[in-house]
């Protein structure tokens, strides 16, 4: 995939051809998590804490052109990578009691 400035990448569950949105990926509850690039190389999902379940997520690509607005997860059809989410959010505090 030849990524260009302004292209979008979304994290989805499943493959890029048969996927579903990641519900509640960030604290704001976003379903379509997309990151744009100014140079086609560097993408950022921002600084919000990820609160989704640990696991593997497909990174899928979309280019805004013509009637394609890239505002729906079904428009992200080409896989460009994998995002691995590990462990809990460091701001979570849990207490374990034994005995």
- Please state the rounded mean pLDDT for residues 15-39: 67
pLDDT tens per residue across span 31-86: 455 666 777 777 777 777 777 778 888 888 888 888 888 888 888 888 988 988 88
Is residue 1 in a domain?
no
Is residue 23 in a domain?
yes
- According to the model, what pLDDT value does residue 82 have? 92
Q: Which domain holds residue 39?
A: 8-85
Is residue 35 in a domain?
yes
How many structural domains comprise the chain? 1
Is residue 2 in a domain?
no
The string of DSSP codes covering the chain is ----TT-EEEEEEE-SSSEEE-TTSBTT--SSEEEE-SSSS-----SPPB-SPSEEEEEEEE--BTTB---SGGG--EEEEEEEE-S--TT--------
- According to the model, what pLDDT value does residue 87 have? 74
């Amino acid at each position: 995939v030849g990524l260009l400035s302004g292209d979008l990448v979304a994290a989805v569950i499943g493959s890029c051809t048969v996927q579903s949105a990641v519900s509640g990926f960030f604290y704001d509850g976003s379903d379509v998590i997309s990151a744009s690039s100014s140079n086609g190389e560097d993408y950022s999902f921002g600084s919000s804490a990820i609160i989704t379940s640990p696991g593997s997520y497909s990174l899928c690509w979309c280019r805004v052109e013509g009637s394609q607005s890239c505002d729906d997860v079904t428009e992200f059809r080409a896989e460009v990578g994998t995002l691995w989410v590990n462990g809990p959010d460091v701001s979570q505090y849990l207490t374990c009691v034994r005995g």
